[in-house]
């Protein structure tokens, strides 16, 4: 059964740490989900709102994959909130320097804002937020 699950997912099938890392977080939207969760736990609806362009199907699939890779976990908040949030595991939080480095590396390609570009304040500041307690 585990082999079927592995085969249904795309993999580079290379014995290489970079390839294995990309197997875990290299799908489109995955690192942007991590970027959002670096600021702390988020509800699904909040993630969807701050990731314009991602469909609900893709967001759900990426969150499920990131959970299976041990990058993200779901947690039910106590009352009165009583909602489910997604948050980074220690393995996921370890991606902070990777996401920050990509942000620095991407500055040269940023250029002028296009009319079709979505913008969120926390993206423009260039800072990846510090984790917050919910």
48-74 pLDDT, tens digit per residue, is 999 999 999 999 999 999 999 999 999
pTM to 2 decimals?
0.84
Strands (E), the chain: 72-76, 84-88
Over residues 1-55, the pLDDT tens digits come to 343 344 456 899 999 999 999 999 999 999 999 999 999 999 999 999 999 999 9
41: left (phi over 0), alpha (psi -120 to 50) or beta: beta
**Gap between the Cα atoms of 27 and 53, Å rounded:** 15
CATH number of 26-110+117-124: 1.10.10.10
């Amino acid at each position: 059964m585990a082999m079927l699950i592995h085969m249904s997912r795309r993999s580079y099938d290379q014995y290489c740490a970079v390839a294995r890392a990309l197997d875990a977080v290299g799908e489109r939207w995955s690192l942007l989900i991590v970027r959002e969760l670096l600021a702390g736990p988020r509800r699904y609806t909040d993630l969807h709102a701050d990731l314009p362009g991602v469909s609900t199907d893709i967001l759900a699939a990426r969150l499920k994959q990131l959970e299976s890779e041990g990058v993200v976990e779901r947690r039910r908040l106590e009352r009165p909130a009583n909602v489910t949030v997604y948050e980074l595991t220690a393995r996921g939080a370890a991606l902070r320097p990777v996401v920050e480095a990509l942000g620095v590396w991407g500055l040269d390609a940023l250029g002028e804002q296009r009319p079709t570009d979505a913008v969120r304040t926390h993206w423009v500041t260039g800072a990846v937020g510090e984790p917050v307690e919910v």
